Amino acid sequence: MSRKIHLALHPYGVGGPGQHGLWKDPRVAKNASIDINYYIRQAQAAEHALFDALFIVDSQFINATYPAHYLNRLEPLTLLSAVATHTKHVGLVATASSTYNSPFNLARRFASLDHISGGRAGWNVVTSFDSGAARNFGLDEHLDYPTRYGRALEFVQVARGLWDSYEDDAFPADAERDVFLDPAKLHALNHAGEHLKVAGPLNISRSPQGQPVIFQAGVSEEGRDLAARVAEGIYAPGGSLQQAQDYYADIKRRTASYGRDPEHIKIFIHGSPVVAATDEAARRREREIFEEDDDFDGNLALLGRSFGAYDFSRHDLDAPFPDVAHLAEKGGRTGAARIIARAESEKLTLRQVVDSLREFRRSPFVGAPKTVADSIEEWFDAATFDGINLAFRTDEDVAAFVDGVVPILRERGLFRTEYESDTLRGNLGLPVPRNQFAREPQLADD
């Protein structure tokens, strides 16, 4: 079978980082981020278009400067459990922190979503770069990078062990023999590691896809390495075509170095297509979106997120960029380091650094439907992604892509004409994990 593009939908609600003007759009309901019907519509639109998944982001810290969507939104697993009952095929991927959760509780919640949805759950594993979250969980400060990523690796391994608590044939439910459970097929994990201690077993069986699909968004060295070791899907940082190629090749190489099949990790880049009747109209709309979101104070606050929600407004905007490198280690270290390096090399003031966040950058996926399809095909053929995590501002924008671009991708044999499976794993072309406690099947003559 020829290689196909995977597509996921990432709802914006009333606007995430950098989308300072989206909530003002009259087409966007002001309560979209807490309206379950908004998410159901988004999921059903994605399913109608045969997308692989609906992706929900999350964080566990805010202050008054945070983006509109972050200030007032639904918890992802609760949200997706409701969406599951209104869909049949589209995958349901929730973001949850390995730093600020317990493995038993989170494994149970994801296993429950996996059963409710019939095997369509995915977990986007994050270590949390909002350092202020520590104070919401009884800690004085955020964990450092090595500790967060060491815990994340162990957390995923523990969750997978818990999901394997029952072998697939553990429940004969034989009333005549008065046997509901075969106790030999129930396994306690009894894990005691560097960061976690969990006995188990989990009180829920495996789903039709075996286990939820593990996603990750690794940018740092630690993040890329974690992705290569455990992830089955990854949300890539994007950038230029060359940068996307380099990242794709690096992740696939790392995956192979851990003895894994590189085809068993699907790399999704972020995409915010703007589709219109003509290329010129689409480019005009792209510029309008930039101007709608152009807000200096919003970008000043956004800059602070990479440095642990640091308040840069306390500094003189026209003085040299302040020395905040020590704040990056427990925040968004990779992005923060990039900001600091540019500020130092170009001798930028704080105002100039903020202005650099406001620079107009043209997207490759803007134009008439054929233009956008051509660009997607070019990037796909250049080995920059296995899929695109799509974000649209309005329902009309979703429809323009689904009705205009998707049919062209289908005509070119690049996108499915029907779902291959009832599970997220099946549609992504991923294998069902073998239960680590199950004995190898014996040959008949052994």
Q: What percent of the chain has pLDDT over 70?
A: 97
Output the pLDDT for position 325: 85
Q: Which domain holds residue 368?
A: 6-279+364-428
Q: How far apart are CA 209 and CA 115, in angstroms?
A: 9
What's the whole-number mean pLDDT along residues 271-296?
96
- Of 310, 340, 357, the position where a domain reaches its end is 357
The CATH number given to whatever domain includes residue 136 is 3.20.20.30
Per-residue b/e over 400-417, b at no fewer than 16 CB within 10 Å? Answer: bbbebbbebbeeeebbbe
Does 284 reside within a domain? no
Say whether both 410 and 344 belong to one domain. Answer: no
Say whether both 151 and 208 belong to one domain. Answer: yes
Say whether both 64 and 150 belong to one domain. Answer: yes
Q: What pLDDT band is residue 2 in, cutting at 50, 70 and 90?
A: confident
Q: How far apart are CA 71 and CA 58, in angstroms?
A: 11
Say whether both 108 and 162 belong to one domain. Answer: yes
pTM: 0.94
Q: What pLDDT band is residue 332 in, cutting at 50, 70 and 90?
A: low
pLDDT at 279 over 90: yes
- Neighbouring C-alpha atoms within 13 Å toward the C-beta of 436: 13
Q: Are 231 and 446 in contact (CB under 8 A)?
A: no
Say whether both 158 and 263 belong to one domain. Answer: yes
- Neighbouring C-alpha atoms within 13 Å toward the C-beta of 445: 0
Most confident of the ranges 61-65, 215-219, 267-271:
267-271
Say whether both 17 and 92 belong to one domain. Answer: yes
Residue 11's φ and ψ, nearest 5 degrees, are -65, 140
Say whether both 304 and 159 belong to one domain. Answer: no
- Of 319, 340, 357, the position where a domain reaches its end is 357
Does 221 reside within a domain? yes
What's the whole-number mean pLDDT along residues 362-376?
97
Say whether both 232 and 180 belong to one domain. Answer: yes
Distance of CA 174 to the CA centre of its chain: 42
Total structural domains in the chain?
Answer: 2
Q: How far apart are CA 303 and CA 148, in angstroms?
A: 22
Say whether both 215 and 140 belong to one domain. Answer: yes
Measure the CA dihedral 438/440/443/445, to 10°: -80
Output the pLDDT for position 389: 97
Does 55 reside within a domain? yes
- Of 316, 338, 357, the position where a domain reaches its end is 357
Say whether both 22 and 77 belong to one domain. Answer: yes
Does 240 reside within a domain? yes
Q: What is the pLDDT of residues 112-130, one digit of tens each?
A: 999 999 999 999 999 987 7
Does 252 reside within a domain? yes
Say whether both 420 and 397 belong to one domain. Answer: yes
Q: Please state, as a whole number, how many other Cβ atoms lie within 10 Å of the Cβ of residue 199.
A: 11
Does 286 reside within a domain? no
Output the pLDDT for position 334: 74
Per-residue b/e over 266-293, b at no fewer than 16 CB within 10 Å? Answer: bbbbbbbbbbbeeeeebbebbeebbebb
CA-nearest of 32, 58, 66, 166 to 108 is 166
Does 401 reside within a domain? yes
pLDDT at 134 over 90: no
Say whether both 303 and 259 belong to one domain. Answer: no
Does 316 reside within a domain? yes
Q: Are 184 and 197 in contact (CB under 8 A)?
A: no
Q: What is the pLDDT of residues 28-65, one digit of tens each?
A: 999 999 999 999 999 999 999 999 999 999 989 998 99
pLDDT at 211 over 70: yes
